[in-house]
């Protein structure tokens, strides 16, 4: 019930305060918050501990903070955010415009990126699903061209080895191979939260040398 939930939250907050004391005593100046949810930043600040934060999902970490100014300079390593994708002319031409042409009734709602409140009220966000579908279609088309008309499991795997680095919308370069999992991302983007402008800035990519 609500009493149990409140007790769990209180216990979690007390645990975070204890962690804050331990981290500060150890000289920790950067905390990577994997758990997410709740106001870790605010609770740490109440305990007098204000490190720099890194998040698995920077947007979620910022949204969950009671005082966003405490997160100035917070970091995340991930794909390009949706604001960057909306501004990408190639993505608009090669992906969004293709969907708009096939679905004229969606033109108006695909013309902008809805806010979190608008999405909560039912406004669809088309950027991410279109990006995923477009990347998968382009990737499979490129593999099919290499494999040729006789597309089998073996020719598909062989084509992966010949594909080389492939530029994915929203993710950057990826190199796939038949001898490893279907996850070949070579490029990641550092994101930094700027409290003054209340925005997430995307910095230069980090490229993994395979």
Highest mean pLDDT among 77-86, 176-185, 186-195, 200-209 belongs to: 186-195
Q: What's residue 210's pLDDT? A: 56
pTM to 2 decimal places: 0.60
Q: What's residue 128's pLDDT? A: 84
Whether 181 has a pLDDT exceeding 60, the answer reads no
Whether 40 has a pLDDT exceeding 90, the answer reads no
Whether residue 207 contacts residue 173, with contact meaning beta carbons closer than 8 Å, is answered with: yes
Whether 115 has a pLDDT exceeding 80, the answer reads no
Q: What's residue 142's pLDDT? A: 94
Backbone angles phi, psi at 95, to 5 degrees: -125, -65
Whole-number Cα distances in Å, 55 to 30, 58, 59, 63, 133: 11, 5, 9, 12, 26
CA distance linking residue 96 with residue 190, whole number of Å: 25
Q: What's residue 61's pLDDT? A: 78
Residue 205 in tokens: 């990519």
């Amino acid at each position: 019930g609500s009493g149990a939930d409140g007790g769990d939250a209180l216990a979690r907050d007390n645990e975070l305060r204890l962690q804050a004391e331990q981290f500060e005593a150890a000289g920790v100046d950067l905390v990577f918050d994997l758990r997410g949810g709740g106001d870790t930043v605010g609770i740490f600040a109440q305990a007098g501990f204000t490190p720099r934060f890194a998040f698995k999902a920077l947007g979620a970490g910022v949204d969950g903070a009671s005082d966003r100014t405490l997160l100035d300079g917070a970091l995340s390593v991930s794909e390009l955010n949706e604001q960057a994708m909306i501004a990408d002319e190639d993505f608009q031409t090669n992906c969004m415009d293709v969907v708009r042409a096939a679905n004229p009734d969606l033109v108006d709602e695909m013309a902008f990126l809805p806010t979190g409140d608008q999405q909560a009220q039912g406004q669809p966000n088309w950027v991410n699903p279109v990006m995923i579908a477009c990347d998968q279609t382009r990737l499979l088309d490129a593999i099919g061209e290499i494999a040729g008309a006789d597309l089998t499991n073996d020719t598909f795997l062989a084509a992966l080895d010949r594909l080389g680095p492939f530029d994915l919308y929203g993710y950057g370069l990826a190199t796939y191979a038949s001898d490893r999992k279907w996850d070949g991302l070579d490029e990641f983007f550092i994101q930094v939260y700027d409290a003054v402008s209340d925005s997430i800035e995307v910095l230069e990519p980090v490229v993994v040398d395979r």
